[in-house]
Structure 1
Amino acid sequence: MPHRVAVAGFLHETNTFAPTKAQLADFVQGGGYMPISRGAEVLSRGKGINLGIGGAVIHGESAGWEMVPILWAGAIPSAHVSQNAYESITDEILEGIKAALPLDGVFIDLHGAMVAEHEDDGEGALLMRLRDIVGPDVPIAAALDLHGNITQTMVDAADVLVGFRTYPHVDMAETGRRAAVQLDHLMARGIPFAKAFRRLPFLVPIAWQSTREFPAKDLYDLVAATETGAVSSTSFFFGFPAADFPGCGPTVICYGETQADTDAAADRIEAAVLAAEPDLAGKTFDPDAGVVEAMRIAGTATRPVVIADTQDNPGAGGDSNTTGMLRALVRNNAQAAALGNMVDPKAAEAAHAAGQGAEIDIALGGFSNIALDSPFEGRFTVETLSDGKLIASGPFYGGAPLDLGPSACLRIGDVRIVVTSNKAQMADQEMYRFVGIEPTKQKILVNKSSVHFRADFDPIAEVILTCTAPGPMPVSPASLPFRNLAPGMRMEPMGRVFDPEEVREIELS
Structure 2
Amino acid sequence: MPRPLRVAIGGIHIESSTFSPHLSTADDFEVTRGDALLARYDWLSPAQPWATDVEWIPLVHARALPGGAVDRATYEAWATELVEKLAAAGPLDGMLLDFHGAMTVVGSDDAEGHLVAAIRSVLGPEPFVSAAMDLHGNVSQVLFDACDLLTCYRTAPHVDVWETRERAARNLVEALRRQQRPHKALVHVPILLPGEMTSTREEPARGLYARIPDIEARDGVVDAAIWIGYAWADQPRCRGAVVVTGTDATATAEAARELGGHFWAARDEFAFVAPTGSMDECLDTALAAVADPARRPFFISDSGDNPGAGGADDVTFALERMLARPEIRDGSRRAVFASLVDPQAVAQVADQPLGSPVRVTVGGRIDSRSPGPLPLDGILEAVADDPDGGRCVSVRVGGLSVFVTSRRMQYRLLESYARLGVKLDEVDLVVVKIGYLEPELFDAAGDWLLALTPGGVDQDLARLPYRKVVRPLFPLDRDFTADLAVVTG
**TM-score over 0.5 for the pair:** yes
Please tell me whether residue 135 in structure 1 is matched to residue 124 in structure 2.
yes
Residue 15 of structure 1 is matched in structure 2 by 17
Aligned position for 1:52: none
1 CA distance for matches of 2:100 and 2:374? 35
CA offset digits 1:428-473 (Å, max 9, x no partner): 112211111112321111111112x422111111122000222221
Aligned mates of 1:247, 1:467 — CA distance in 2: 28
Cα distance, 1:59 vs structure 2: 6.0
Out of 331, 334, 337, the position equivalent to 2:335 is 337
**SS of the residue 1:10 aligns to:** strand
Structure-2 residue corresponding to 1:435: 420
Match of 1:457 in 2: 441
Displacement after TM superposition at 1:168 (Å): 1.1
Inter-partner Cα distance in structure 1 for 2:214 and 2:159: 19
User: Against the structure 1 CA distance between its residues 22 and 369, is the aligned structure 2 distance closer, same or farther, given a 3 Å change threshold?
Assistant: closer
Distance 1:317 1:473 in 2: 6
AA paired with 2:239? G
- Match of 1:471, SS? coil
Q: Do the aligned residues in 2 keep the contact of 1:56 with 1:176 (CA within 8 Å)?
A: no
The total of aligned residue pairs comes to 469
1:232 maps to 2:222: yes
Residues 370, 470 of structure 1: 8 Å contact kept: no
Task: Give the CA deviation at 1:279.
Answer: 1.7
The worse-fitting range, judged by mean Cα deviation, of 134-143 and 233-242 is 134-143
- Residue 359 of structure 1 pairs with residue 357 of structure 2: yes
Q: Distance in 1 between matches of 2:297 and 2:45?
A: 38
The correspondence for 1:289, drawn from 265, 281, 288, is 281
User: Hey, what's the Cα distance between the residues in 1 that align with 2:85 and 2:181?
Assistant: 25
Tell me if structure 1 keeps the 8 A contact 2:50–2:173: no
Structure 2 residue 114 is the aligned partner of structure 1 residue 116: no
Give distance in 2, aligned partners of 1:78 and 1:68. Answer: 29
| Aligned counterparts of 2:45 and 2:148: Cα–Cα separation in 1 | 19
Q: Aligned match of 1:312 in 272, 285, 305?
A: 305
> Aligned pair in 2 of structure 1 residues 316, 59: CA closer, same or farther (>3 Å)?
farther
What displacement does 1:382 show? 0.6
Aligned to 2:389: 404
Q: Quickly say closer, same or farther: Cα 1:409–1:378, change in 2 above 3 A.
A: closer
Q: Deviations over 1:90-116 (max 9, x none)?
A: 010111111112112211101111121
Q: 1:2 aligns with which of 1, 4, 25?
A: 4
Task: Flag the 1:403–1:487 CA change in 2: closer, same or farther, 3 A.
Answer: closer
Partner in structure 2 of residue 82 of structure 1? 71
Give the equivalent residue in structure 1 for 2:378: 380
Q: What are the Cα deviations for residues 251-293 of structure 1, in whole angstroms up to 9, with x where unaligned? A: 1100112221111211221121112111212342111110121
Shift of 1:364: 1.8
Within 1, Cα distance between the matches of 2:129 and 2:373? 47
C-alpha separation in 2, matches of 1:77 and 1:122? 15
Q: Does 1:195 align with 2:188?
A: no
Structure 2 letter corresponding to 1:141 = S
Query: Which amino acid letter does the alignment assign opposite residue 356 of structure 1?
Result: L
* Runs of 5+ unmatched residues, structure 2: 482-489
Shift in CA distance, 135/63, structure 1 to aligned 2, threshold 3 Å: same
Q: What's the secondary structure of 2:67's corresponding residue?
A: coil
% identical aligned pairs: 31
Question: In the alignment, what sits opposite 2:452?
Answer: 468
Partner of 1:398: none
**1:486 and 1:384, CA in 2 relative to 1: closer, same or farther beyond 3 A?**
same
Helix, strand or coil at the partner of 2:409: coil
Per-residue CA shift, 1:71-105, capped at 9, x if unaligned? 11012222211110111000101111111121122
Q: Give the match's secondary structure for 1:354.
A: coil
Unaligned runs of 5+ in 1: 28-34, 49-54, 389-401, 498-509
- Counterpart of 1:348 in structure 2 is 346
Could you list the per-position Cα deviations for residues 376-408 of structure 1 after superposition, in whole angstroms to 9, with x for gaps in the alignment? 2231211111122xxxxxxxxxxxxx3422111
Q: Is this contact kept in 1: 2:354–2:380, CA < 8 A?
A: yes
Q: Which residue of 1 aligns with 2:429?
A: 444
Q: Alpha-carbon deviation of 1:355?
A: 2.4
- Aligned partners of 1:339 and 1:418 also within 8 Å: yes
Compute the RMSD of aligned alpha carbons: 1.9
Q: CA deviation at 1:371?
A: 3.0
The residue type equivalent to 1:484 in the other structure is K
Give the corresponding residue for 2:487.
none
AA in 2 matched with 1:316:
A
The code of the aligned residue for 2:467 comes to R
